[in-house]
Structure 1
Amino acid sequence: MSFFGFGQSVEVDILLNDADSRKRAEHKTEDGKKDKYFLFYDGETVSGKVSLALKNPNKRLEHQGIKVEFIGQIESWHLHFVCEHPSARNGLPSKLLLCSSSPAELYYDRGNHHEFVSLVKDLARPGEITQSQAFDFEFTHVEKPYESYTGQNVKLRYFLRATISRRLNDVVKEMDIVVHTLSTYPELNSSIKMEVGIEDCLHIEFEYNKSKYHLKDVIVGKIYFLLVRIKIKHMEIDIIKRETTGTGPNVYHENDTIAKYEIMDGAPVRGESIPIRLFLAGYELTPTMRDINKKFSVRYYLNLVLIDEEERRYFKQQEVVLWRKGDIVRKSMSHQAAIASQRFEGTTSLGEARTPGQLSDGNSRQ
């Protein structure tokens, strides 16, 4: 990054000590694209250099101090309405006013930032720099409790920030990293078995082999048709990601269909059994995240959908827990990261997810 001031400019760069050997991981950005970042785990040390390259060798750079920070931050944004309302002309705020006749537009409020990790290292006291130089830094055994995440309304990021304090404008350089949280195999991982249907019309029994799956796992199950008096023509399983942000009355839910898996095309008969085998490795999934720093949650549901010949949809949702398996990468991890990978979060029992349009023991239709 360059700073153009009175007489001197400087290029700031952040270099990791183990950049050549450290693994990189793909991570989705806010615009939906993917980029590769250096991958870290909870408990690993973050060390490197802050490099300052002066553009004009014969001139000095005055500063009020140089520092580097390691920051874990949650940023949330929500969609609001802005409209031209008569009260706005009287000096009153026009945001969030309900307009029926006035022109309105949508905007995203991105002002909500929360830092859950904030570490600072001072690299130089106030003074001046006469030549290009580099400053070493080290953040030892850094706590990184949550997984990096970019969603519809929230972003959890970790980054290094180098700052040269100046009287007029600071010179700032940031470098993002990606953090993965690792888990061991859950001790309790019971199967899911339920009987659902519509009274005197449809009665089915579905079974999934587990309730907790790692991100490269395979969902194995069966669908049993005990009573069929509706002409079903199609059946599929959807993987639904539900992102929840906010608290109290200001809670926002975003549902995203990650995958659609067709398990039947045609009319089933009584006594028929349909097998399910769904590979998760091909989809963009994250571990289940529950009440992260009391800011947001990410949950996953298997949505069983049946469609009849009149295009009516019947469905039943069941929550499952997703987790990141740590055994594969443990050999290449540092000692402190291997210890951190022993943790398993999200082992609480699963409740039945119910919405008004679901299949149940009574009539239910979407």
Structure 2
Amino acid sequence: LAFDADGEPVAAVLPPEAVWLVYPEDRALRADSAPRVLVESRLPLTWNGWRLVQLDLAGVAWLELGTAGGDAPRRHPVRGRSKPRLVTGAPVPGVHTPDGLPVFATLPMVRLPSGEARWKIEVRRSGSGPVLAAVGVSGDRWDPERLWDRVPRPVLGELVVTVTALDIPQATGLRRAVTVAEGLDVSYSPPLRLTDTEGLEPAEAVLSPAPGMTASPGAAMIPAEVTGVEVACVAGPVVLPLRVTPPHCRVRTEPEPGSGGAPTAWHSLGPLPLQTADLIRGGALHLDLPGAAGDPPIDVVAAGGTVQVLMPSKQGRYPLRRMLDTVSAHGGAELRITIGARTAVIARISASAPAGDPWLSG
């Protein structure tokens, strides 16, 4: 028995959202990918031997309940999952190809729609590279792990995954390129680079590849004047060049809503230079601090001390005009943030010649 979040019964096709399921607890519930359990609840005593659970079906293509005898289970499709999907997982943080594409440490999984329709799945190296895996199978009989059974491991390189319908030529297939460095892990010290006078804090990236793969260099030093460095992973005859960019502080200014202006480019290397004219124009300062626990207050520092503290708006922005009077009175200021025990200057504001306020007429 299936019910939506409001308690209404669900027909044969399940929605890609939260549903309540009631089923015999001695029957296994199966899916193409494990659904997230939202709630497990108890049923009245008269329902002894049954289980009540709420599942999130957002990433699931089908559900089925194991049968008590030898009968084939009935598979229930999830609405909107009628096309093949490629599930990649999260990319390796801070690691990209030279073209800026993400790199994944886990093998991509092909999810097929439920049913007896047959599909051809093929994985080959990009360009004119060889075919690594090819299989023809129906959705009801497909196990995503099978795709990699005969592929040499660990897998490294840019792969092209193609899924083509065999029985229904007009059915929508799939073609996608994905870069994989199977089992690659990267750690950074510090975990977040803050700005300093030379650019960014120097950092170290330590690459931990899977057995059968090497990384050169295994530990890369990133100097203050650059955001990232080039490295390479090697597995057998495959060499994959990569760029490693540790998480770092970025800052930019964004225009007043409705002004028609555009945000400035992200700035990372050293404090962002600003003038009081920038504060007069208005807008907001936007900080990007990957992995930080929230948006920190900004200290406005002049004459050797903190003269104002800027708190972020609900949107995580810092209005520039809010500190105009303070900065003008002191002839300039520095903007500082503190992350843990570290303090960094993220911007320097210098005084400029008085300018008319563009938002005041006349």
- TM class by shorter chain equals under 0.3
Question: Larger relative contact order (C-alpha < 8 A, sep ≥ 6)?
Answer: 1
Q: TM-score normalized by structure 1?
A: 0.22
